[in-house]
Amino acid sequence: MPVIAVVGIFVFALLIASVKVIKEFERGVVYTLGKFSSIREPGVQIVLPVIQDMLRVDIRIRTEDIPPQDVISKDNVSVKVNAVVYYRVVDPSYAINRVENFVTATSQLAQTTLREILGQHDLDGMLSHRDKLNHDIQEILDKKTDGWGIKVTEVAIKHIDLDPSMIRAMAKQAEAERERRAKIINAEGEFQAARQLDEAAAILAQRPETMQLRYLGTLGEFVNAKGSTTILPLPLDLLRSVADAVKKVA
């Protein structure tokens, strides 16, 4: 009777040790006598002690922060760039069996790829085409990690830090560009005003009576002004008419 009790206790303990509960966001990689045998889904699973062993793999999206990387741009500008990579395990057996530590491997590969891709662009391209750079880095990482059972879903460049001297130089360049545009706009305004004045002069020259009406309108503006003394010049046409009348009398 004691022997049966001991055997029963042993069998019960063995069953308890064999029961494994896998959570929804996990997958179990099972080895039988050291050889990969199966992937266990979420729920209650039986894993035989001693004969079998199981490793749990989290398949949720992971967030890997890439530390600041020293990058030399295509136009020889030194910058520090950091980013974040989002990825998840799509094949637990590959992630465990094909790479020693897929977390470290993915992080190191992301750092190398970030420096490689950004080094092919100039500073203006880095600052103005982040979306394209993020897409290019994500595509390359996804292809390289496909054999590891890893799916890179997104890459986002967070900061591009410039040297203070470079920031001052860019500020001077931006100020010079603003001054250049202001001068161009001012010159265009003066050109348009001069062209309109020239067209107005041509029209007035064709119709002398129009010039007289313009002259009278200008006199009206002076007369309506308060607190000022107005000196009215004689029009040249009036003087010419008086001269012609004197000649006829003479």
Write out pLDDT tens, residues 126-141.
888 889 999 999 999 9
Q: Angle at CA 36, nearest 5°, toward 32 and 37?
A: 65
Token pair, residue 60, equals 């949720």
Model pLDDT, residue 57: 94
Model pLDDT, residue 193: 78
Model pLDDT, residue 176: 73
CA separation for the pair 209, 237 (Å, rounded)? 10
Average pLDDT, the chain: 80
Structure-token match 């012609």, residue found: 244
Weakest-pLDDT range from 31-35, 59-63, 142-146, 199-203: 199-203
Q: Is beta strand 35-40 parallel, antiparallel or unpaired with respect to 26-32?
A: antiparallel
> Could you report the per-residue pLDDT of 171-221, keeping only the tens digit for each?
666 667 777 787 888 888 887 877 877 776 676 666 665 655 565 556 556
CA separation for the pair 2, 64 (Å, rounded)? 57
Torsion angle of alpha carbons 186, 188, 191, 195, nearest 10°? -130
In which residue ranges of the chain is CATH 3.30.479.30 found?
A: 62-162
pTM: 0.64
Please give the CATH number for the structural domain made up of 62-162. 3.30.479.30
With H, G, I as helix, E, B as strand and everything else as coil, classify residue 62: strand
CA separation for the pair 73, 95 (Å, rounded)? 34
